[in-house]
Structure 1
Amino acid sequence: MWLRELWFVLVGILFTGYFILEGFDYGVGMLHPFLNHTDLERRASLNAIGPIWSANEVWLVAAGGALFAAFPYWYATMFSGFYLALILILLALIVRGVGLEYRSQDKSPKWRATWDWLIFSGSLLTTILWGMAFANLVRGVPINGHMVYVGNFGTLFNGFSLWAALTFILLFLTQGGAYLAIKGDSRSRKHGRMVAQKTVWPALIALVIWFVWMDRLPSSLGHVDTLAIVLQVVAVLALILARFASYLTKNGWTLVLFSVSIASTTFSIFRILFPRVMVSSLNPAWSLTIYNASSTSYTLDIMSVTALIILPIILGYQSWLYWTFRKPVNDEELGY
């Protein structure tokens, strides 16, 4: 049934869009307490993401909705097995969102400093947990023959997933720096470009090590083929080219190339998974696939029609939003 393959690809695209767009949001959030020395500079960096951060979260909502409707068994197993991790992600997103909106409600230095660190903590924790979650999807988790996760929260902590978390942090930091180099005020643009240049090499090293680690997983866990390797090579080359683009002050191309690297990394994960969606470390035959975890053909038909209506609206709205706020933060007003 080709609709199963289509929806697997669509889920991959939605998560890719989420990681690209929220990648620079999280990156800016993690840089926020360290990159800026005055309150004006911190306001400027937050104003760079202020109009668009909540719209970027739509990609996560859409990805979760697609999982629930198209692959209910994947949704049920993942959200029940990774329950604590996903609750922590939700709490981190709430704290971060509240911080972005409430920081400016009081001019007290203590008030603003508290929210600065909460924004940082929410961005960092979310990045770490997403890296660990996707690493464990590839590495495999204990799932029994009834599609039930039989591990615990501690099961998610292993060398492979922790290295993935570090890799996600570094990738999002480069993305955040590249975004500030375009959208920040004059001070933030300078600082953002510096961060993008300094973090790209650690990000490159971490990504290469993670890819090699991923490719050396037992064949029963990871299906690495030519396409997956090509995607990984593209991700690495994009990072290298982004560094040279930043050196040449081609800030737009720098952000595009960092986005290509994140997209290729995410696509390679989904390619290695296919046709599975969650790998069982207990018995490969117990893995969830797009065939045993999907909805009925009738449901997929309805979902496809719905997606054809909703996705253009989402894309149109976001395109309008980014076009409206395409200019950098104004130095005098610290706004758009």
Structure 2
Amino acid sequence: MQLHDVWFVLIAVLWTGYFFLEGFDFGIGVLTKLLARGRTEKRVLINTIGPVWDGNEVWLLTAGGATFAAFPDWYATLFSGFYLPLLAILVCLIIRGVAFEYRHKRTEERWQANWEHAIFWTSLLPAFLWGVVFANIVRGVEIDQNKEYVGGILDLFNAYSVLGGLVTLALFTFHGAVFAALKTVGGIRDRARALATRLGVATAAAAVGFLGWTQAAHGDGTSLVALAVAVAALAGALGANIAGREGWSFALSGVTIAAAVAMLFLTLFPNVMPSSLDDAWSLTVTNAASSPYTLKIMTWCAAVATPVVLLYQGWTYWVFRKRIGTQHIADAH
């Protein structure tokens, strides 16, 4: 395996980590409208991700930075061709971070309600748009011989990519509901489990359709294995949730996300962005990669920095591992 293959795998791992971690806090943001009853319960949900949401976004920065350094042509074509969806995601992430920080700065009901609306929409839209983006990457887009995207914005919203967006939105919301059940006590925990059951059924139907479509159009034997793991893990997560085993349910919903992302990257390799105009114009791990020397330096840096980041983030989750409920929320002053 050459270094450009290694970095393709590492970038897939970074995206998997991002969707696993950011997936449940996107889900929590959506659930502030679907699950919480009253302002106090909204505070409970927001507090479940309060210590970790910004750390989860580090995975996105790392995945983007790694793509820029390891596959500059992939990065350039992706961020120019998908400029508007990615800009919308970026704006949502900025507003979402501001909303988390500013919501509690004033006690007026209208002030807090406006920021809560912002949290909901800036969680829902990225959860949908990430599915649209990755579905188009796998499906292939209009890339010419100069490695430039020549399609339009509406070309990105086709039946396959919209279904992919609905799958990521449903899957992240289910993941968030399971996380809410794992991290809360009392009535909100019971309602989170009940909602997760309904979401899980809907997610399974959409995910089987999307992943089956992906397998039929682009898959092989290895991607079929990943599809089977994703479906089995989602069924296991749903069953564990019904049985009240929130820890197992959350772990298995995470496996579902990891297997689904793995399947997408397996169907993609050795391409990084297929061209729908001509296979010869597709970006691959070979023609889109940086020089071997650049990849070698990056590998040494990643080998040193990655364990430190993992240990620190793991420690953060361990420190804030306890459940919370409305009784733990202090009265507003």
When normalised by structure 1's length, the TM-score is 0.96
In structure 2, distance between residues paired with 1:100 and 1:69: 31
| Partner residue in 1 for 2:261 | 266
1:37 Cα offset (Å):
1.6
Q: Superposed, which structure 2 residues align to 1:97-108 within 5 Å? A: 97-108=97-108
Out of 288, 294, 300, the position equivalent to 1:299 is 294
1:184 Cα offset (Å):
2.3
1:150 Cα offset (Å):
0.5
1:191 Cα offset (Å):
2.1
Write the letter of the residue equivalent to 1:38: G
Is it true that 1:321 corresponds to 2:316 in the alignment? yes
| Partner residue in 2 for 1:333 | 328
1:330 Cα offset (Å):
4.8
In structure 2, distance between residues paired with 1:334 and 1:53: 19
Tell me the secondary structure at the aligned position of residue 216 of structure 1. Answer: helix
Tell me the secondary structure at the aligned position of residue 51 of structure 1. Answer: coil
Indicate conservation of the 8 Å contact 1:45/1:188, yes or no.
Answer: no
Write the letter of the residue equivalent to 2:29: G
Write the letter of the residue equivalent to 2:263: S
In structure 1, distance between residues paired with 2:240 and 2:215: 29
| Partner residue in 1 for 2:276 | 281
| Partner residue in 2 for 1:74 | 74
Indicate conservation of the 8 Å contact 1:185/1:334, yes or no.
Answer: no
Please give the per-residue CA displacement for 1:138-162, whole angstroms capped at 9, x wherever unaligned: 1110000110011121111100000
In structure 1, distance between residues paired with 2:216 and 2:139: 11
Is it true that 1:248 corresponds to 2:255 in the alignment? no
Please give the per-residue CA displacement for 1:78-116, whole angstroms capped at 9, x wherever unaligned: 011111111100001111111111111111111111111
Write the letter of the residue equivalent to 2:242: Y
In structure 2, distance between residues paired with 1:25 and 1:290: 32
| Partner residue in 2 for 1:196 | 196
| Partner residue in 2 for 1:141 | 141
In structure 1, distance between residues paired with 2:137 and 2:105: 41
Indicate conservation of the 8 Å contact 1:143/1:280, yes or no.
Answer: yes
When normalised by structure 2's length, the TM-score is 0.97
Q: CA 1:196/1:232 → structure 2, altered by over 3 Å: closer, same or farther?
A: same
| Partner residue in 2 for 1:96 | 96
| Partner residue in 2 for 1:123 | 123
Tell me the secondary structure at the aligned position of residue 277 of structure 1. Answer: strand
Indicate conservation of the 8 Å contact 2:178/2:196, yes or no.
Answer: yes
Write the letter of the residue equivalent to 2:289: S
Write the letter of the residue equivalent to 2:162: L
In structure 2, distance between residues paired with 1:154 and 1:286: 22
| Partner residue in 2 for 1:227 | 222
| Partner residue in 2 for 1:55 | 55
1:31 Cα offset (Å):
1.0
Tell me the secondary structure at the aligned position of residue 327 of structure 2. Answer: coil
1:215 Cα offset (Å):
2.2
1:333 Cα offset (Å):
2.7
In structure 2, distance between residues paired with 1:231 and 1:120: 31
Indicate conservation of the 8 Å contact 1:48/1:183, yes or no.
Answer: yes
Indicate conservation of the 8 Å contact 2:215/2:223, yes or no.
Answer: no
Write the letter of the residue equivalent to 2:180: L
In structure 1, distance between residues paired with 2:65 and 2:55: 16
Write the letter of the residue equivalent to 1:227: T
Indicate conservation of the 8 Å contact 1:128/1:168, yes or no.
Answer: yes
Please give the per-residue CA displacement for 1:237-283, whole angstroms capped at 9, x wherever unaligned: 11111111111111000000000000000000000000000010000
Please give the per-residue CA displacement for 1:168-222, whole angstroms capped at 9, x wherever unaligned: 11101110000001112423322221121111111001011101211232xxxx2
In structure 2, distance between residues paired with 1:150 and 1:168: 26
Indicate conservation of the 8 Å contact 2:40/2:326, yes or no.
Answer: no
Stretches of 4+ moved more than 3 A in 1? Answer: none
Write the letter of the residue equivalent to 2:205: I
| Partner residue in 2 for 1:180 | 180
Stretches of structure 2 lacking an aligned partner (at least 5 in a row) = none
Write the letter of the residue equivalent to 2:113: A
